[in-house]
Structure 1
Amino acid sequence: MDKLPKIALPALAGIIFIIIFASRSTITIGSGEAGVLYKYFGGGVVTDEPPLGEGFHLVAPWNKVFIYEVRQQEKLEKMNVLSSNGLDIKLEASVWFQPKSEDLGKLHQEKGEQYIDRVLLPAIRSAARSVVGRYTPEQLYSSKRDAIQQEIFEETQKIVDDQYVQLNEILVRDVTLPPTIKDAIERKLRQEQESLEYEFRLVTAEKEAQKVRIEAQGKADANQILSASLTDKILQDKGIDATLKLAESPNAKIVVVGSGDDGLPLILGNN
């Protein structure tokens, strides 16, 4: 009985050592993540091998694994920029990005876990200032929103493309102008809209008047042609045809031959 504690203590210490060793030698990487291996006795950050993928991994207890999220992420950035005429503009943009998985070791070695603050956000601010500085407040407020968004994306992509970051999209969510400038732009836009509506009404009225003139001219031309074609002989022949048709009618009538103004029969009837 006296020997039992002497055997149990080393055994207990061995079990504790195994548990600690196992806990430091295993790592589980979750969905949408990847691990960068750091070897204390093997050259530091591993950059010439693919990062550790999702699932369970065994590593030496003296090494360390840095876990990164490699799925698409979103970062909202608010910034103050200047327009082409020097006015202060507040811009709110959302960036969609993810680290390049194949270069995750280099990203960790050169940029570190704070790569978003060290690389991505400064690049967006620089691109936004450069792009917005080309436009007037009126363009920023209305017609150029999509163009500005695309230009900021393209310029940011040029900066981060060799920084091991994949840029997927930049969305300009809001452009805030000084209140006085915003009110002036809105007044101008309303005036332009009213002017366009007035011009539209004028054009519509002119088209309607033109239509009436064309119809009137057409009727005048038709009457002129008809008048020119109705000679005395044609009118006399038509009168004779009408007289014959009336004479054939069963209705009671009186026909006075040669009593009309043109020598045509004059037909009198009570029906």
Structure 2
Amino acid sequence: MILTSILGFILIVFSFILKAGNPSFFKLVNPLKYIGILIVLLGVISSLFVQVSAGNVGVKSLFGEVQPTILESGLHIVNPLMDVTSFDIQTQNYTMSALNEEGAKTGDDAIRVLSADGLEVVIDLTVLYRVLPTDAPIIYKKLGVNYSDKIVRPVTRTRIRDNAVFYDAVALYSSKREEFQTRIYTSIEKDFKSRGLILEQLLIRNINLPNSVKTTIESKINAEQEAQKMTFVLQKEKQEAERKRVEAQGIADYQRIISSGLTDKQLQYESIQAQLELAKSQNSKVIIMGGKNTPFIISDK
């Protein structure tokens, strides 16, 4: 906008130079002068209007002096000499990762910390944050627009290193991971707030342990799984033994009841009934022999 006004002013000055220097260019003087005036007016008018995009606020500065008030999203009329810088107030993320092209910086940008037992632990992390709109002028005045590299990155890395020393490497990897994340969230949130930033979420994406520690953990996990498997097998065998004991006891009880309840008369009756059923077969003949009326059944098959 200012450049447009300057260009128009140059055309006006040039028209007067032509008029004074060479009368043969007199026909060009007025058109150049009018064009210059028109350009100046367009530059001034356009400088009066500033549009702030959705999800942003405008920070005003006049000759280097930052104004304390902000411009909300929308169209505004301002001093033509006022400079307006747009600030993003939506949620932003800053990732520090060991993988190339995944983090905010190219290459290995993971956070390396020392645990309480002196082991190096590598942490991949994502920070979700946003700018507090009312503090945008202060941030612009003290930090400029590159606040992510000046505040988000160094504060996050420092607080993680400060808090990691209270935990063993294995605890960070397993049982104390959630506690560690809560602890560093509280610490970083406080630092961000004092600088006009709001910490929304802190995501520990990955925790990498030294290879020696990984091997120890894997061995321990395998041993625990084998122990659980053996416990299951023993329980199954115990249940099977109990089943067999109950089954044997049932058979013994059945035999005891049968042996105590049957008489000779009842056995003879049951025998006769069975023989009668056999005698009904079309392929059999019944021959009675012996002194105790015991029949022998001879089949024709």
Identity among equivalent pairs (%): 28
Paired position in structure 2 for 1:253: 286
Instruction: Give the distance between the partners of 1:222 and 1:166, measured in 2 at CA.
Output: 79
1:75 aligns with one of 66, 78, 94: 94
Instruction: Give the distance between the partners of 2:276 and 2:156, measured in 1 at CA.
Output: 98
Query: Structure 1 residues 156 and 225, CA, compared in 2 at 3 Å: closer, same or farther?
Result: farther
SS at match of 2:34: helix
Q: Which amino acid aligns with 1:17?
A: V
SS at match of 1:45: strand
Q: Report the RMSD for the aligned CA atoms in angstroms.
A: 3.5
Query: Structure 1 residues 234 and 133, CA, compared in 2 at 3 Å: closer, same or farther?
Result: farther
Query: Structure 1 residues 131 and 198, CA, compared in 2 at 3 Å: closer, same or farther?
Result: farther
Is the 1:74–1:94 Cα contact (8 Å) retained in structure 2? yes
Paired position in structure 1 for 2:60: 37
Q: Which amino acid aligns with 1:166?
A: I
- Does 2:82 match 1:63? yes
Paired position in structure 2 for 1:229: 261
Aligned residues: 262
Is the 1:45–1:109 Cα contact (8 Å) retained in structure 2? no
Q: What TM-score do you get using the length of structure 1 for normalisation?
A: 0.75
Query: Structure 1 residues 80 and 247, CA, compared in 2 at 3 Å: closer, same or farther?
Result: closer
Paired position in structure 1 for 2:213: 181
Paired position in structure 2 for 1:87: 119
Query: Structure 1 residues 179 and 45, CA, compared in 2 at 3 Å: closer, same or farther?
Result: same
Q: Which has the higher contact order (CA 8 A, sep 6+)?
A: 1
- Does 2:228 match 1:200? no
Deviation at 1:93, TM superposition (A): 0.2
**Which residues of structure 1 form unaligned runs of 5+?**
none
Is the 1:79–1:92 Cα contact (8 Å) retained in structure 2? yes
Is the 2:48–2:78 Cα contact (8 Å) retained in structure 1? yes
**Which residues of structure 2 form unaligned runs of 5+?**
1-18, 97-109
Q: Which amino acid aligns with 1:85?
A: D
Is the 2:160–2:184 Cα contact (8 Å) retained in structure 1? yes
SS at match of 1:67: strand
Instruction: Give the distance between the partners of 1:125 and 1:235, measured in 2 at CA.
Output: 94
- Does 2:169 match 1:137? yes
Paired position in structure 1 for 2:40: 17
Deviation at 1:239, TM superposition (A): 3.4
Q: What TM-score do you get using the length of structure 2 for normalisation?
A: 0.69
